[in-house]
Structure 1
Amino acid sequence: MKRANRLRTTLPLNGNAIIDRNEIRSINLPATEQGCFPMLSREQIQELLLPITDPETGKSLVEMQLIRDIMIKEDRISLSLVCLETDETKRMELEQEVRDRLREGGAENVHIRLRDATDHERSQLNQRETTGGEEKLKGHAAGLEGHGLISEDSGVHFIAIASGKGGVGKSTVTVNLAAALARRGKRVGLIDADIYGFSVPDMMGIEEGPVVEGGTIIPVERFGVKVMSMGFFIRENNPVIWRGPMLGKMLRQFFSDVAWGELDYMLLDLPPGTGDVALDVHQMLPQSKEVIVTTPHATAAFVAARAGSMALQTDHEILGVIENMAYYQCSACGQKDYIFGRGGGAKLAENLHTDLIGQIPLGAPDNHVSEPDFSPSVYKAGTDTAQLFDEIADRLIIKCE
């Protein structure tokens, strides 16, 4: 049977951003502050889920360690459900049973991520069946457990750059922020996680691809930033026609199969919206923080609130909002014209309970193809816009360190 693997989550309004097209209203108080059920502990969650059995083996999901990555904060519970079952209907029934039991225990805001068991995990299960061993399955961070780069004590600060919609300049902000952090002497990596709409290599003027040494990919370095992108592996701008699980697998390879070396910061250019890749990143990197990019326009800020709400629901700190295309400044007289309106970024930051950490003007870099370090989108060090990105980088460094 053909699998229909999907990443699933619920986005209930209770305790999260309520979005109105005319006004982005403030985020409600967490449910625990409104007199709802007290939050369950990890042990209570496991106790509630203990009776649920895997359809394929008939054994308890908890005893088989197929309930992973339990995260608890205020009124929110998120977890991963590792599936041995391939039948989509049975998978959905299993997910619903987990959700129902947690709700019976008082958990109203539940996020469940379904993922397939890897071949290694299936092999471990079979080995336990034949030997009677009690070795526990690993699986934190969606198959990247124990990887030095993403371990909580690695010292790497992960910052995901997100937006609610395309066309707001999120990738432009990402590459310039990465370059600004490098100018501040930081060791920076950049993953172009916008796997459908990859653009980072072109924006940074990267013409060569990564090399492979001993089965490990060496990232391309540009402007002091180590870069990996799906664009390195696609010929002639062909479209990527993949489903969610394949996207997640590629993203995991960007962490596991790339020789990043020592890093201080890892930036991830997320796809617009709140789809599979964004969910994968939130699940793989529970310690990552987020920056939301918007324009001053009310509609862009309205849609960006969804990305911010998703970050809060998955317990990821929002470091701030960057308002791109905030104004156009005349090069002759210095007058600012607010072409897309004013206040969208500030209002969004206020309602996400974070800071407006930068306003970037509308305008292209004054770069020329004849220059040895030509890039279509990275502003030269010392220019007015580059200095604005330097100031944003300084603010992020203070927040992270």
Structure 2
Amino acid sequence: MSVITESDVRSALAKVDDPEIRKPITELGMVKSVTLGDGGKVHVEIYLTTAGCPLRTEITQRVTRAVADVAGVGPITVELDVMNDEQRTALRKQLRGDSAEPVIPFAQPGSLTRVYAVASGKGGVGKSTVTVNLAAALAARGLSVGVLDADIYGHSVPRMLGTEQRPTQVERMIMPPVAHEVKVISIAMFTQGNTPVVWRGPMLHRALQQFLADVFWGDLDILLLDLPPGTGDVAISIAQLIPNAEILVVTTPQPAAAEVAERAGAIALQTRQRIAGVVENMSWLDLPDGTRMDLYGTGGGQSVADRLSRAVGAPVPLLGQIPIEQPLREAGDEGTPLVLRDPENPAARALREIADKLAVRKRGLAGMSLGIDTTRHL
């Protein structure tokens, strides 16, 4: 029989990531003690960040599974304790540094996170559906992805990602819930039931600032912002808080919707942001006989892309067209993005192709207004 050592057990625990922070519990100081007994007995004590940690059961299961993989282990018991104030302060400093005021990591010059602000001119074009499916598709590629539900009044992202979990707070640091490997934060996680949010501009700005600075997002590859329709307070605040965020415009083929969507993209001319591209949703309906019905007309997405290209003086691509599919709506209502539930569905394939383009997109000046008036002459 193999002789178990404490080092063997701690090595196994080093493979256990905290479900929220996504770092090994050994690095986070969460392993309080390891005690070995006769017959291969192992007793592990684990610190939780807060007494009300919603993932205590999952942490216990992860620790148990990891220790069980050690050769010669017998009965395993896991006991949970709670960090004291000093330990939580040390954890916060380890993760966020010792800055007096939280900063927005994505706005820093050295940030490598690509930030996409998903915008639309009007509601009902499927912007949130596009956002959550792109997020899930990007995460499925192995990227670290976050979604900020910036649609304060019309929040729907938590439902579409199938999570009712509340964030955990460690001092002033907020741990975002994770759904389908996507970190997500929304005002819906801080309200009771379906209570409406009745705020004006300054409060909206402060809420977005807290979501960006106080939430521990970790090392994200991509952050998606689900903006409310139009070019109001939230769009302006995002431009101020994250100037390097790129705008991803969602429209339908309908000319009336395309005209309004063009305005949402044209905000980049004033905010000096880059336009990542245009996504056309509800492009057509495939009928049982193999023909297509253009319920909302044709050409709206390409029209928006062409007009924005002329406005900014650089190519703005039409990244993809998404057909109307009933399973896309059903998946959103059920909380499992279609790109995960049925990856080969035509709409899911279109969304995954768009995600592939965003995943490999490189930084540069293409599509960004430089604020130069080309009509002036000396």
* TM-score, with structure 2 as normaliser: 0.64
Q: Where does the alignment leave 5 or more consecutive residues of structure 1 unmatched?
A: 1-143
Q: Is the 8 A contact 1:292 1:321 kept in 2?
A: yes
Select the structure that is richer in helix: 2
Q: Which residue of 1 aligns with 2:131?
A: 174
1:146-170 residue CA offsets vs partner (Å, 9 max, x unmatched)? 5434312121111000000001000
Q: 1:234 to 1:154 in 2, by over 3 A?
A: same
Compute the displacement of 1:282 (Å). 0.6
Compute the displacement of 1:215 (Å). 3.2
- For the pair 1:344 / 2:309, whether they are aligned, the reply is no
Q: Which residue of 1 aligns with 2:349?
A: 387
Among 264, 275, 285, the alignment partner of 1:307 is: 264
d(CA) in 1 for partners of 2:168, 2:344 = 33
1:355-378 residue CA offsets vs partner (Å, 9 max, x unmatched)? 110101112327989xxx952654
1:161-198 residue CA offsets vs partner (Å, 9 max, x unmatched)? 00000010001001011111111111001000000110
- For the pair 1:202 / 2:163, whether they are aligned, the reply is no
Q: 1:367 to 1:342 in 2, by over 3 A?
A: closer
d(CA) in 2 for partners of 1:366, 1:345 = 19
Q: Which residue of 2 aligns with 1:364?
A: 326
d(CA) in 2 for partners of 1:383, 1:174 = 18
Identity of aligned residues (%): 47
RMSD: 2.2
d(CA) in 2 for partners of 1:152, 1:183 = 28
Give the letter for the 2:280 counterpart.
E
1:1-80 → structure 2 map (5 Å cutoff): none
d(CA) in 2 for partners of 1:196, 1:300 = 21
1:17-72 residue CA offsets vs partner (Å, 9 max, x unmatched)? xxxxxxxxxxxxxxxxxxxxxxxxxxxxxxxxxxxxxxxxxxxxxxxxxxxxxxxx
Among 229, 250, 257, the alignment partner of 1:272 is: 229
Give the letter for the 2:147 counterpart.
L
Q: Is the 8 A contact 1:161 1:174 kept in 2?
A: yes
Give the letter for the 1:382 counterpart.
P
- Match of 1:287, SS? coil
1:334-363 residue CA offsets vs partner (Å, 9 max, x unmatched)? 322111000011111111111110101112
Structure ID, larger Rg: 2
d(CA) in 1 for partners of 2:164, 2:318 = 34
- Match of 1:261, SS? coil
Q: Is the 8 A contact 2:149 2:225 kept in 1?
A: yes
1:238-272 residue CA offsets vs partner (Å, 9 max, x unmatched)? 11111100000000000111111110000000010
* TM-score, with structure 1 as normaliser: 0.60
Q: Where does the alignment leave 5 or more consecutive residues of structure 2 unmatched?
A: 1-100, 310-315, 364-378
Q: Is the 8 A contact 1:203 1:378 kept in 2?
A: no
d(CA) in 2 for partners of 1:149, 1:349 = 27
Q: Is the 8 A contact 2:176 2:183 kept in 1?
A: yes
Among 256, 262, 268, the alignment partner of 2:213 is: 256
**What is the total number of aligned residue pairs between the two structures?**
255
d(CA) in 2 for partners of 1:231, 1:388 = 29
1:135-150 → structure 2 map (5 Å cutoff): 146-150=103-107
d(CA) in 1 for partners of 2:104, 2:166 = 24
- Match of 1:400, SS? coil
d(CA) in 2 for partners of 1:149, 1:268 = 12
Q: 1:254 to 1:319 in 2, by over 3 A?
A: same
Among 102, 106, 117, the alignment partner of 1:160 is: 117
Q: Which residue of 2 aligns with 1:316?
A: 273
Q: Is the 8 A contact 1:218 1:258 kept in 2?
A: yes
Q: Which residue of 1 aligns with 2:335?
A: 375
